[in-house]
Amino acid sequence: MIELLAATSPTSTGEAVAFWFLAPTAVVAAVMILLSRKAVHSALWMATTMIVLAVLFIMQGGIFLGVVQVVVYTGAVMMLFLFVLMLVGVDASDSFVETLRAQRVAGILLGAGFGVLLIAAVSRATFPEATGVGAANDAAGGHVEAIAEAIFTRYVFTFEVVSIVLITAAVGAMALTHRERLTPRRPQPELSVDRIRSAHPTPHPSPGVYAQHNAVDTPALLPDGTASEASVPDELRRQGTVRYTELEDARKQEDEDGEQG
């Protein structure tokens, strides 16, 4: 299997077919990241591109790298993106209003120029006859062994530095998203003592007038037919979205009329 995938020089027909199928997929998905109005759709296209790239890595003999690509990128990084999208709000679609005039045209022109430069450089360069990584794998006794040997001997210093970078990033993320409490936390015993000393130690009446409504924004009716303010959440009362029954509305109207008259 590894010998088969170690991608030796003249590429096989199978690889060519896979490439001409996967490369347009990657490019279309990458363009759709730019064109999607909603960030969630961009994230899904990004995941597509990353999976296609993982397959391309494996096709070129980077089996370990292909697996790492799936685990780290499509697994961890994309999930992180989706978490943050959910925190920030999924519905928030991008505004397409330009704050700088003609910035979009300038950006696309710059990109096109840069692309021409890159492709010209690649097309002008002469490359060695592709040998594939098969020989390097065999010298170490296997693909993963070859990568392990490189990481833990020649690149061991880079490896250590990268581990420091990762630890710093983890600490940095915690420091950045940490929020100080503005008010001291009130423990459970203190809250229960407060409740017993208050005028209303029992639970509040449940909301809803069951013959007509069954919702938290409808206050319960007291025996005399008036609405019980304690039965609706404070937050709804603050927002002014409490739904009174028609009877209660009529009574309030009467009270107001009586006061005016």
Long-range contacts of 109-117 (CB under 8 A, 24+ apart): none
Task: In angstroms, give the least distance from the CB of 235 to another protein.
Answer: 19
Task: In angstroms, give the least distance from the CB of 116 to another protein.
Answer: 9
- Which amino acid would we find at residue 165? V
Task: In angstroms, give the least distance from the CB of 72 to another protein.
Answer: 6
**Which sign does the torsion angle of CA 61, 63, 68, 74 carry?**
positive
Start-to-end CA span in the chain (Å): 94
- Asked if 90 touches another protein (CB under 8 A), the answer is no
- Asked if 227 touches another protein (CB under 8 A), the answer is no
> Looking at 130, 215, 222, 250, which residue binds another protein (CB under 8 A)?
130
34-63 footprint of another protein as x/- string (CB under 8 A)? x-x--x--xx--x--xx--x--xx--xxx-
User: What number of other Cβ atoms are within 10 A of residue 28's Cβ?
Assistant: 13
Question: H or E stretch including 218?
Answer: none
- Which CB, 161 or 215, lies closer to another protein? 161
> Looking at 92, 156, 215, 250, which residue binds another protein (CB under 8 A)?
92
Helix (H, G, I), strand (E, B) or coil at 202: coil
Q: Please identify, among the stretches 157-165, 191-199, 202-210, 243-251, the one whose residues bind another protein according to the rule CB under 8 A.
A: 157-165
Task: In angstroms, give the least distance from the CB of 130 to another protein.
Answer: 4
47 neighbors 31 (Cβ within 8 angstroms): no
User: What number of other Cβ atoms are within 10 A of residue 155's Cβ?
Assistant: 14
Task: In angstroms, give the least distance from the CB of 236 to another protein.
Answer: 23
Task: In angstroms, give the least distance from the CB of 181 to another protein.
Answer: 15
d(CA 151, CA 160) in angstroms, rounded, equals 10
> Looking at 3, 4, 94, 201, which residue binds another protein (CB under 8 A)?
94
Look at residues 178, 237, 172, 173 and name the one whose alpha carbon lies nearest to residue 204. 237
CA 235 remoteness from chain centre: 30
User: What number of other Cβ atoms are within 10 A of residue 239's Cβ?
Assistant: 10
Sequence length of the chain is: 261
Helix (H, G, I), strand (E, B) or coil at 128: coil
> Looking at 4, 86, 110, 250, which residue binds another protein (CB under 8 A)?
110
- Asked if 241 touches another protein (CB under 8 A), the answer is no
- Asked if 142 touches another protein (CB under 8 A), the answer is no
Residues 159-198 within binding reach of another protein (CB under 8 A) = 159, 162, 165-166, 168-170, 172-173, 176-177, 179
- Which CB, 161 or 250, lies closer to another protein? 161
Rg, the chain, Cα only: 32
- Which CB, 85 or 236, lies closer to another protein? 85
14-33 footprint of another protein as x/- string (CB under 8 A)? -xx--xx--x--xx--xx-x
